Amino acid sequence: MLSVSPIAPLVTASENGADVIRHSSEAMKRWLFGPCSTRPWRLLTIGLAGVLLFKQASVLPYLDDLFAERGIVQAPVADTFIGLPQVPRAWWVGAIVPNWISPSTALHVLFLAFMGSTLAMLAGIAPRTSAVATWLLHTTFLAAGFMHSYGADFFIQTYLFLIVMMEFSTQRQGRVADARAEMVWHRVLQIFLAIVYCTSGMAKALPSVLVDPRSDPTQWWTGMAIVRALLRPDLGQFDFTWIAHSLWLARMVAYGTLATETLFPLLLISRRTRRFAVVGLILMHAGIGVCLGLHAFAALQITALTAAYLIPTNVASVQTANRSTHSPNS
């Protein structure tokens, strides 16, 4: 009669556990360090440069008012609120040029250099150099105009930083990255957006707890946040006075926003819900752009969401798509 060792089940369980850990580790390595198509980053770079050029053109006539040392918000006041004295301001250029060049002229030349580096990014000329120059110059103008900057400016700064890090972490061979670092930075972009939208949803749901105790804690639950935004005279693009009599519609939009943003990281886990969640956020930003006139912010976030979640990153999938596109029967 054969005897079974009492520790045999434990050994089997240990081996099974080791297999699970090994497979999980390999899957994590593939997810984080696998080869990555360059298409998402090209889309993000081109879209970001386009949005930035649009914003640059819109502020070009008002440089002295927005970014000069004696502009609408003068340097001593701005420095009090900003802090960070080590971060260069755009107006510093006026102090380092010769006396025969006015600070206004120097500021305009610096801004034209900013536009030039952005154009180089858009055209793919010297991608590393143009990305670094655009990021540094955007930093100086963001610091100089901090008091009148808004969300799009800070998202641009973050995306520029990620593009710079990606450019310096990878070497390219044709359409496919030659290094694993590109996928790493792609995952950083995905995680960043997931955190941003989740915290945004939580701040909307609990504003008096997470943002400001003086905030109205019910405005998103009653739909009044949507009504107030659409009826703002400085943002509203159409006559939405009728929505004050259709609060049920405002509540539906508010509930959809709260659910999609707060649950966004969880919705990304499954392929079935991922596309639904991303498309929902894209539609939300499209609505913001059309109804509130925040075109740059809407275009920026739509580009980032598309690059992060909708463009295939798997090299094999991209190569298969390319072969089918160029096949004789296509």
Which residue bears the tokens 């707060």? 262
Element (H, E) at 173: strand 172-173
Q: What is the pLDDT along the chain (330 residues), one digit of tens a residue?
A: 445 556 555 556 555 666 667 666 776 676 666 777 788 889 999 999 999 999 999 999 998 888 888 888 787 887 777 766 777 788 778 777 777 888 889 899 999 999 999 999 999 998 889 999 999 999 999 888 877 778 889 999 999 999 998 887 765 544 444 446 778 888 999 999 999 999 999 999 999 888 888 888 899 999 999 999 999 988 888 999 998 888 999 999 999 999 999 999 999 998 889 999 999 999 999 999 999 999 999 999 999 999 999 988 765 544 444 444 444 444
Q: How far is CA 292 from CA 19, 74, 238, 241, 296, in A?
A: 53, 29, 9, 14, 11
Task: Classify residue 254 by burial, with Cβ atoms within 10 Å: 0-12, 13-18, 19+.
Answer: buried
Q: Nearest Cα to 107, choosing from 67, 54, 157, 155? A: 67
Q: What is the pLDDT of residue 182?
A: 78
Within 10 Å of residue 75's Cβ, how many Cβ atoms? 16
Which residue bears the tokens 């889309």? 43
Q: What is the pLDDT of residue 324?
A: 46
Which residue bears the tokens 């991922």? 274
Asked if 261 and 205 touch (Cβ cutoff 8 Å), the reply is no
Q: What is the pLDDT of residue 326?
A: 45
Distance CA 71, CA 26 (A): 56
Asked if 45 and 293 touch (Cβ cutoff 8 Å), the reply is no
Q: What is the pLDDT of residue 198?
A: 96
Distance CA 205, CA 198 (A): 11
Element (H, E) at 186: helix 181-205
| Degrees to nearest 5, angle at CA 124 with 121 and 126 | 85
Bridge partner list, 176: 37, 173
- Residue ranges of the domains in the chain? 36-174, 180-319
Element (H, E) at 172: strand 172-173
Amino acid code (one letter) for 121? M
Q: Can you give the length of the chain in residues?
A: 330
Distance CA 206, CA 96 (A): 48
